[in-house]
Amino acid sequence: MPPTPPTINLPFPHHHSLHASRVVLMYYHHSESWGYYTAAAAAAAAARVMADPLERVARLASENAVVIFSLSSCCMCHAVKRLFCGMGVNPTVYELDQDPRGKEIERALMRLLGNSPSVPVVFIGGKLVGSMDSVMASHINGTLVPLLKEAGALWL
């Protein structure tokens, strides 16, 4: 009988012990300012990198109730993130300037939006809401909160 492989203790929020021969690599992205986590198995991450940018956008947008594609230095992106956080919504944010294929995703978002700026782009419940002007229009006319409730991002 082969010896038992050593145990690796990983310092994640919930303590995990995995045998070295069966470790599934996980990556975590944590932003102190927004407090969100994104985790995926290494195989899933590799598949995402290989996918068509439009397919990747659709997949990422459907994985969480509220998804924002953003640039970390964009003031309008910051404003839309603050809007959602101020409403008690915890959006999943993909900072395209920190993604190795962010430029490809940005071009795919521009194709989706037409002539609008490429970021911020907001998806709620997997459906494209649009850029900052569409989000603000929805907020002003009262349709944003029902969308958030329907997607399960807002309970009140």
Model pLDDT for residues 100-120, shown as the tens digit of each residue: 999 999 999 999 888 777 799
pLDDT band at 153 (very low <50, low <70, confident <90, very high): very high
3-state secondary structure of 66: strand
Distance CA 44, CA 75 (A): 31
- In a domain, residue 119? The reply is yes
Overall domain count for the chain: 1
The answer to whether residues 33 and 22 touch, using CB atoms and an 8 Å cutoff, is no
- In a domain, residue 98? The reply is yes
Global pTM value: 0.68
- In a domain, residue 14? The reply is no
Q: Using the predicted structure, report yes or no on whether residue 8 has a pLDDT greater than 50.
A: no
Distance CA 135, CA 94 (A): 17
- In a domain, residue 120? The reply is yes
Write out the residue range of the structural domain in which residue 92 sits. Answer: 51-151
- In a domain, residue 140? The reply is yes
> How does pLDDT run across 25-67, given as a tens digit for each residue?
333 444 444 444 444 445 555 555 556 899 999 999 999 999 9
Beta-carbon contacts of residue 12 (< 8 Å; ≥ 6 apart): 26, 28
- In a domain, residue 37? The reply is no
- In a domain, residue 6? The reply is no
**Percent of the chain surpassing pLDDT 90:** 59
Lowest mean per-residue pLDDT among 7-16, 64-73, 107-116, 147-156? 7-16
Kindly report the average pLDDT of the chain as a whole number: 78
- In a domain, residue 109? The reply is yes
CATH number of the domain enclosing 100: 3.40.30.10
